[in-house]
Chain A
């Protein structure tokens, strides 16, 4: 995984609350055995009509969405299923951060393992981001800040170990493996 440090991008906004993982990636696209190609299917039922044509009014189909790496969405983003295909699809499409007022637990955990930053901001800043679609933001994981062009800066929190892994492009599995001695000791305890 590539390290994720500081990046700047325009935003794309989806001002809907409770966007669930079935909207992010419908279940019919979960039949693969690899992670590849899911970006094309991202928000499939909102993005394409029944014949597969692009719906002109959906934000990801508009020219201003091209190249955007930051998605600003309504409250409780990523609720629903545990499918890691949701952050895989967002990442594959090109997003590197999702900004909301709250983010569902399992989605948040999955996103952090896949180079996609789940960023929770205060309602006032969230509203401003929704009111100014396409605004340029700079996100620094090192400083844990989201900055607007006028200097407005919001701090956000990422769990220290997840942040360490993202900044260094490493994953959690090696760390768990390094605990082998403690795990073996734990396993030798009586069952009841």
Chain B
């Protein structure tokens, strides 16, 4: 293959998973190496299997957990997490039944391996370079941080993968996003991706798979890379990817489900062939200078409506943005610094990993949550929770007056009891500021864990660099 056309990371993975190529009449059949399952988007998929008398083709390529509708309230005296919402309880119990009936590994509520599906995959080491990974959740793009092709699918497609381990797919286009230079102190992976989405717009990546490249991307840790890839979908791109390198291998080595021994060596040798070839052509390219990026915050009702934190609310360019500013109760040219807030939410598949909590704790340490603010810290998984507690981060949060909770999606999706009240303003480390996303009438400013923690201790939108 020495003389073959240079290929991108995406093309290599795509080509390696074609079971049957596309024809004029049918899309390609793409093999799926790993499907992650959660309680909200899977029940109807299992119903389809039951209606047709089908088995799960590869239960060992399927991992399930509970995260979206699960409460994050403290455990009872029996050590169990109690689900008071009967609909959520039924959904959770349905997943238990489905996993038992179909032989699927389940990390059930409150168990050691439970957590947000996009946090536990990498944690277990089931997320690996070169894989195709799907889940009935749009933030499946997170796993692309490992150099995997990972994307969200609907429930019908969940049933297709359960039954056949395959999907019918149209080949997407490729978009290279190159970020060179060095991020300034106080500028995080979250700021980087919010800046990318602000330029592309919420639909700017539609039809594309993004590959993030450049020296600023290479310098990111795996957890930071996950934050970047996680929000690819907020620019409309189903998947975001970063080529695997030593950082990736170091993160994976020794994880419970990573290859071991001779398998590890063979795997790494293969993974080293995955990065895009020199001269590989993308359908589209965008470049960013990392050193020019600032801490970012959103002002509107989609993640593309973001500005540098010291900036001002832009003037509306039409009815959509006018509606957004009205909903947010903001006026054009208004600075966001100093805007009072009611709630701080630190968590979600975007920013709930140990490094996110360490960053937040660096701001909370020796400070108190402002009297007008409720601050919630929600670890992404039980393992993250345990690690944070071993490091004493929970004590820092509690001493500051913040609420330290059980693992789950929590207030990112507000279908589990954690939600804003109408009109409340929140600074959130999650991924969506859509109207009502964090509770009907709630108003969300998306930002990094540093910015969120700074808002918690000052009670208003603050440039965290002022607190250092």
Q: Enumerate chain A interface residues (CB-CB to B < 8 A).
A: 15-18, 20, 22-23, 26-28, 30-35, 45, 50, 74-76, 79-84, 87, 102, 104-106, 109-110, 113-114, 159-161, 164, 171-173, 175-177, 179-180, 182-183, 186-187, 191-192
Contact = CB atoms under 8 A, between A and B. Distances in A.
Contact of A18 (B166, B207, B269, B302): B302
26 contacts: A18-B202, A18-B203, A27-B415, A28-B414, A31-B85, A32-B87, A34-B47, A50-B422, A80-B138, A84-B155, A84-B156, A104-B236, A105-B206, A106-B138, A109-B153, A109-B154, A173-B164, A175-B168, A176-B167, A177-B163, A182-B20, A183-B29, A183-B165, A187-B165, A191-B266, A192-B269
Given A26-B436, A33-B43, A161-B168, A84 B154 contact: yes
Interface of B: 19-20, 24-27, 29, 31, 40-41, 43-44, 47-48, 52, 57-58, 68-69, 85, 87-88, 90-91, 94, 136-138, 140, 152-157, 159-160, 163-168, 170, 172, 202-203, 206-207, 233, 236, 238, 263, 266-267, 269-270, 302, 304, 318-320, 323, 413-415, 422, 432, 434-437, 440-441
Contact of B154 (A27, A34, A82): A82
A14 B230 CA distance: 29
A179 B40 contact: no
A36 to B, nearest CB: 10
B20 A31 contact: no
A28 B415 CA distance: 5
A175 to B, nearest CB: 7
Contact of B160 (A28, A106, A164, A172): A172
A82 B153 contact: yes
Contacts, number: 185
B206 A80 contact: no
Given A27-B413, A27-B415, A109-B157, A81 B436 contact: no
A82 B415 contact: no
B319 A15 contact: yes
B422 A164 contact: no
A49 B12 CA distance: 51
Contact of A80 (B24, B47, B90, B434): B434
